[in-house]
Chains A and B, each alone.
Chain A
Amino acid sequence: LAKTTQPISMDSYEGQEVNITCSHNNIATNDYITWYQQFPSQGPRFIIQGYKTKVTNEVASLFIPADRKSSTLSLPRVSLSDTAVYYCLVVALGGNKLTFGTGTQLKVEL
C-alpha cells in the first residue's frame, strides 16, 4: 500500500485559494488518488478523485504531475465552512483495505 504524507495543519483566510499537497512516492500503476473532507462530528466525505493531470469538480481541483508521486488539492476562495480535516488516500482499484493517514487540519479565518 502506498503511504501518503501531507502537512498536519494549514491556516488560511476567507477568499484565498488553498493548496494542500500530498506525497505518495510509492504509488503503483493502478492506484488512484482520492481526497476526503471531514467536519467535526461527521464521517469523511468524498471530494475528488484522479489518476493523472488535472481533475476539476464543483468543489475542488486536483493536480497530479506526470510522475504521480504527489498531488495537490486546490480549494478556490475558501470560506469559514471549509474548515475541516482533509485526507489524501491512494486507492488501488480492485484493492480492499483503505488506510487513512492523519490528514491536514485546515483552519479558515476571517
Chain B
Amino acid sequence: GAGVSQSPSNKVTEKGKDVELRCDPISGHTALYWYRQSLGQGLEFLIYFQGNSAPDKSGLPSDRFSAERTGGSVSTLTIQRTQQEDSAVYLCASSSSTGLVAGANVLTFGAGSRLTVL
C-alpha cells in the first residue's frame, strides 16, 4: 500500500479482555516495528521484525503481549487479559531495509491504534 495501515483506529475494551491490533506495512518493507505511546509520553519500543529473522521482543512489557508477522507482511499485536495500564496508542512502523545504505532505517509510521481499557 501507499502507507502503513493500522486497525482498528480506536478500540475500547473491558479489563481482562483480549485485543488484537493489526498493522499492514508498506509493500516491500522488510522491517516492522511496534511502539507504544502513553498520553503525553514518548515512544516505547515493543518489538521488531526483520525479514525471516527471529523478532527482537526485548521491549514487550509482559508475557500478556505477543506479536506475529505472517508471510513477512501483515503483523498482529495481541494483548491478553488487558489491564488499564495498557491504555495507550500503539504505533506500527515499517522501513525498507536495515542495510548499509544511507536512508536505511527510516521509519514510516501508521496513524496508530488507540486502546482504552475500562
Contact = CB atoms under 8 A, between A and B. Distances in A.
Contacts of B108: 46
Interface in B14-64: 31, 33, 35, 41-43, 45, 48, 50, 56, 58-59
A96 B50 CA distance: 8
Interface residues of A, number: 26
Given A96-B48, A100-B35, A102-B41, A49 B102 contact: yes
B93 interface: yes
Chain B contact residues (Cβ within 8 angstroms of A): what range? 20 to 34
B12 interface: no
Given A93-B104, A97-B56, A100-B45, A43 B110 contact: yes
Interface string B70-92: 00000000000000000000010
B43 A32 contact: no
A93 B102 CA distance: 8
B75 to A, nearest CB: 15
Interface of A: 30, 32, 34, 36, 41-46, 49, 51, 87, 91-103
5 contacts: A42-B109, A42-B111, A96-B56, A100-B43, A101-B42
Interface of B: 4, 31, 33, 35, 41-43, 45, 48, 50, 56, 58-59, 91, 93, 98-112
